Chains A and B, each alone.
Chain A
């Protein structure tokens, strides 16, 4: 049994129960893992539109005249490249170059940045950010995690669906963010970002916790299918998007996690950010391990995390994530492979309950959505 007393609760919990959710613990939260079924929900997102409660995600607002240079030192991507109303995927590293968290940063005004961080990392991230704020007066850091709730609408019909709710709202372009004007009388502005974690077109709506249930009901009435964390996981894995805590940790740098394009090492405008020196060394001397996509070559059991990966009968890695891809019907996984074994097509084996199944290094994404990719990146 789950001891729900020690967990954080979404303001949508009652709505989930009404929708027939099965609830689980995730990142310290009590969240829906599924409603109608993971495969059904997964398909709804790939073919029409699904909605996810992402209220467990943390929201942090950073403002002030020094906000930009301060964030530039703490994040790997070049924050200064962001125009107002734009977002980017980025990473926060420790001094050794290890990944503390991956996040999306949106520039909501010249001197205002809205950060969306992982649920399980909220406390750690805030501690880290606060610790690096010492002596800097011109930056204001606000943890808005409790004020905000959030819903992700994902799938090819997302724009149509959002249009029904807010016909006069000019939707942002991919990776952009806008403010919903008609509900600005709440305690926090309602942000609509065209980002997500599924590879499909879609939006993430960050709204006041006090208005989220009404939004959920409206979306439900317009036909958005409630989707849980189960489908969120299979959808993100089909795209090869890493999950912090499984595929990312302080034990690996973003270069090892195959996220080099979100690290502005080659950008002459980028300053000396935390962890940079380790990445510079890795860039010149090479990496020993690389987070790589693996695909089973035969029909087999669903892949999961912590399954041994073998080369010539010797265990060389273990999977960090795995699934039976609902879109492809094939076993897919991610694993930190020794660099020499990470070339596409390399033949390996994955062991499941003592039995070995042939697999090979594949390419990302495992599944290409039909519409133009709306990456979370």
Chain B
């Protein structure tokens, strides 16, 4: 199982990274392992408002549908069209080409609310 450094993690197994004003959101490797074969992704609409801790996307495996919670509140600026046509990217490259959406947070990010890679590692070990 992979955990990458220098990005931020939620307890509900999403990750995000910041680049200037833009935040990229995805699910962790642990999450994709738990979800198993991902066959369908419903990302939020570009321009839609997402709220921290509220479902922003839906990921479906053969067996079940799961909500993906937005780590932050803000406006969706871009979605990853690749994962819509090839949902398996979430399984094979969750931290890279399997990202889900980019957003502009509505307020400054308080990184203290999120887990570091080390914090996330101990979170899932629990």
Contact = CB atoms under 8 A, between A and B. Distances in A.
Interface of A: 22, 33-34, 37-40, 230, 234, 300-302, 304, 323-324, 326, 353
B40 to A, nearest CB: 5
Contacts of B63: 33-34, 38, 230
Contacts of B62: 38-39, 230, 234, 302, 323-324, 326
A226 to B, nearest CB: 15
Nearest to B63: A230
Nearest to A355: B42
A302 B36 contact: no
6 contacts: A37-B37, A38-B37, A301-B42, A301-B60, A302-B65, A323-B62
Interface in B48-98: 58, 60-63, 65
A281 B62 CA distance: 40
B25 interface: no
B58 A37 contact: no
Contacts of B103: none
What 9 pairs across the A-B complex have the smallest Cβ distances?
A: A38-B62, A301-B40, A39-B37, A37-B37, A324-B39, A302-B60, A38-B37, A230-B63, A302-B40
A277 to B, nearest CB: 41
A30 B37 CA distance: 21
B60 to A, nearest CB: 5
A323 B61 CA distance: 10
A38 B64 CA distance: 12
Contacts of A324: 39-40, 62
A38 B36 CA distance: 8
A37 B42 CA distance: 21
Contacts of A22: 36
Contacts of A326: 62
Interface string B7-30: 000000000000000000000000
Interface of B: 36-37, 39-40, 42, 58, 60-63, 65
Contact of B39 (A33, A302, A353): A302
B109 to A, nearest CB: 29
Contacts of A230: 62-63
A120 B37 CA distance: 27
B62 to A, nearest CB: 4
A230 B37 CA distance: 11
Contacts of A353: 58
Contacts of B61: 38
Contacts of B39: 39, 302, 324
Given A230-B63, A302-B60, A34 B36 contact: yes
Contacts of B65: 301-302, 304
A57 to B, nearest CB: 21
Nearest to A353: B58
Nearest to A34: B36
Nearest to A22: B36
Contacts of A301: 40, 42, 58, 60, 65
A109 to B, nearest CB: 41
A22 to B, nearest CB: 8
A326 B60 CA distance: 14
A34 B63 CA distance: 10
Given A38-B61, A39-B62, 13 more contacts: A33-B63, A37-B36, A38-B36, A39-B39, A230-B62, A301-B40, A301-B42, A301-B60, A302-B65, A323-B62, A324-B39, A324-B62, A353-B58
Nearest to A234: B62
B61 to A, nearest CB: 8
A230 B39 CA distance: 14
Contacts of A40: 37
Contacts of B40: 300-302, 324
A22 B63 CA distance: 12
A230 B62 CA distance: 8
Nearest to B58: A353
Nearest to A38: B62
A40 B61 CA distance: 13
A300 B37 CA distance: 16
